[in-house]
Structure 1
Amino acid sequence: MMQSRGGDSGEVINKQVILKDYVTGGSAKESDLEVISTRTINLKLPEGSDGVLLKNLYLSCDPYMHACMNKIENPSIDFVSFSPGLPIRGFGVGKVVDSGHPKFGKGDFVWGSTGWEEYSVLSRLESDNLFKIDHTDVPLSYYTGILGVTGMTAYAGFFEICCPKKGEYVFVSAASGAVGQVVGQVAKFMGCHVVGCAGSKEKIDLLKNKLGFHEVFNYKEEPDLEATLRRYVFLPV
């Protein structure tokens, strides 16, 4: 998560995190990205613009962004590649500096997809996908997590698809991830018996001793996953 600083009027330096080139050969490296402070931005939208100018306050770093750093050529994949030489994009929280959009006014706080830069100009189409933050009595950073996409994903998966009942067993795969953490805690609150798995000692410790999962195991240490689930979740034979 990044927090930005900047002025409120005139033309200012716009610090950006750009993708230098498409990632090849596996994981992204630090050298694939670059922080630049050579571009400026006018904090007033052009006359007649129906978009939004945001001052980005918090940015969320999410796993799907790695896929967007690759050159995606398969039309069946929903992700859109980032463009080399331009800021990468992700979900974040921002404050409206200027607006020609009928839904948003100067000073509004919003969350949605934005650029990894101090200020972003979003088109009308991009602005249509922003959500206005009406409740500012909680930390704004929560809208990059529990009150944002992470929370909505956990809520929809748990309540709309799984629909567990009190006392039932809930198994959470990748439980130490952002969505998994939320699902596990909501399941506990609902009175379910929560079992989670993760891939390291540190993650297991987090789940068991901080987040209060009833049972946890390291899937890398379990050669027979079905037998492991029977041991922890009491699956029928």
Structure 2
Amino acid sequence: MKAPVYAFFKSDPVFQHIDGRPCHVFTCAAAHCRNPTNTVHRYLDTKDSNSTSGLRKHAEKCWGAEALKAAQSAADANTVRSSGILASGSFSGAIDKIFERLGKGRVTYSHRAHTKVESRAECVRWVAESLHPVGIVGDRGFLSIAKTGRPDHYIPSPSTVSRDLKNAFVKCRNRIAKYLQEYDGALSFATDAWTSPNHRAFVAFTVHLEHNGVPLSLLLDFVEHNSPSL
């Protein structure tokens, strides 16, 4: 059993008789198998008793097509296991592809750990969407939750998240600027000003347009006014 696909299953299949038929029972190696059953039965009394098609179908559904393709490029199953690919999540692939594979509906999570790049991207998205300070990734409690049971799991430092957040902002700003310059339609600009409870005055500048038939509002700038009140 040297084919790379065997790496997705526990190394010792169980021999059983099911309904009087001899078969090997392979158990998925994923911590949380995505298939209805975490086993694959391969009956030994058929002409294709050495076929791995059932194993490949299970692995693709559970681990994803990109993971299966990456493993198939290895010499054999032992090479895949010894390389640490399954444990470290070193398979190639973008995180948005993983989300597409998981689909909509109930939130589920991949058994494959994020790569370092993906962890950095997820932290940037987390602090931006949830309005967290970048220092939260260095919080003792958060690190305890993230690293217990896997102490080597990579979590970017607050300074790394801060730098990545700024780089993401610059790229997003340039993309929006290019989009607005090339926009073939009417752009409506607006401004709003207010004073916070601690007497600090702010001004916001926005643009409003239609994108694929959907109204869209974008914040262009947000500045603090020099005067004590507005």
Q: TM-score, normalised by structure 2?
A: 0.26
More strand by share: 1
Larger radius of gyration: 2
More helix by share: 2
Q: Which has the higher contact order (CA 8 A, sep 6+)?
A: 1
